[in-house]
């Protein structure tokens, strides 16, 4: 069984740092679910108020989207590209993440992501 775990660990990506809006209940729920699925601890979850090292561009965009940072190559990912990276950290996440990379569908998923993000934003501003 250990060999299977090692193989699965090798085919997952990461490590990534994921900055999220810790004041948004929806974001926190999603983070908890993904955290439970991240059995190899490839994702380090960082709330938007974290004062450690993180690219300024990523901090500026956290109000609109989740931000995934690859500390190895200093790259930032947003929207469905970020979701793709997160899913690739989860065992067997590749089984569903590939759909986010289909050219025309990726544009649709970015649009849907923006809709969900804007509705989430409205809900948190009303409180």
How many angstroms separate the Cα of 26 from the Cα of each of 18, 20, 101?
A: 15, 11, 24
Which pLDDT score is estimated for 49?
A: 87
Which pLDDT score is estimated for 34?
A: 93
Choose between 123 and 4: higher pLDDT: 4
Number of domains in the chain: 1
Angle between helices 103-126 and 79-87 (to 10 degrees): 100
Q: What is the number of other CB atoms lying within 10 angstroms of the CB of residue 51?
A: 5
pLDDT tens figures, 20-76:
888 888 888 889 999 999 988 999 999 888 888 889 899 898 888 889 999 989 999
pTM of this prediction?
Answer: 0.83
Q: Which element (helix H / strand E) includes 67?
A: strand 67-70
In which domain, by residue range, is 71 found?
A: 2-126
pLDDT tens figures, 80-113:
999 999 999 999 888 899 999 998 999 999 999 8
Q: Determine phi and psi for 16, rounding to 5 degrees.
A: -130, 155
Which pLDDT score is estimated for 70?
A: 92
The residues with which 19 forms a beta bridge, in sequence order, are: 46, 67
Q: What is the number of other CB atoms lying within 10 angstroms of the CB of residue 72?
A: 9
Which pLDDT score is estimated for 1?
A: 66
CA dist., res. 1 & res. 102, Å (int): 34
């Amino acid at each position: 069984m250990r060999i299977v775990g090692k193989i699965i660990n090798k085919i997952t990506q990461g490590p990534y740092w994921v900055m999220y809006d810790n004041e948004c209940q929806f974001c926190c729920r999603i983070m908890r679910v993904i955290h439970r699925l991240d059995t190899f601890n490839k994702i380090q979850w960082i709330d938007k108020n974290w004062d450690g090292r993180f690219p300024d561009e990523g901090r500026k965009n956290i109000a609109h989207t989740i931000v995934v940072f690859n500390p190895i190559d200093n790259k930032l990912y947003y929207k469905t590209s970020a979701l793709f990276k997160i899913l690739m950290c989860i065992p067997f996440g590749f089984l569903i993440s590939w759909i986010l990379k289909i050219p025309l569908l990726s544009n649709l998923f970015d649009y849907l992501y923006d809709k969900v993000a804007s509705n989430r934003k409205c809900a948190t501003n009303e409180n």
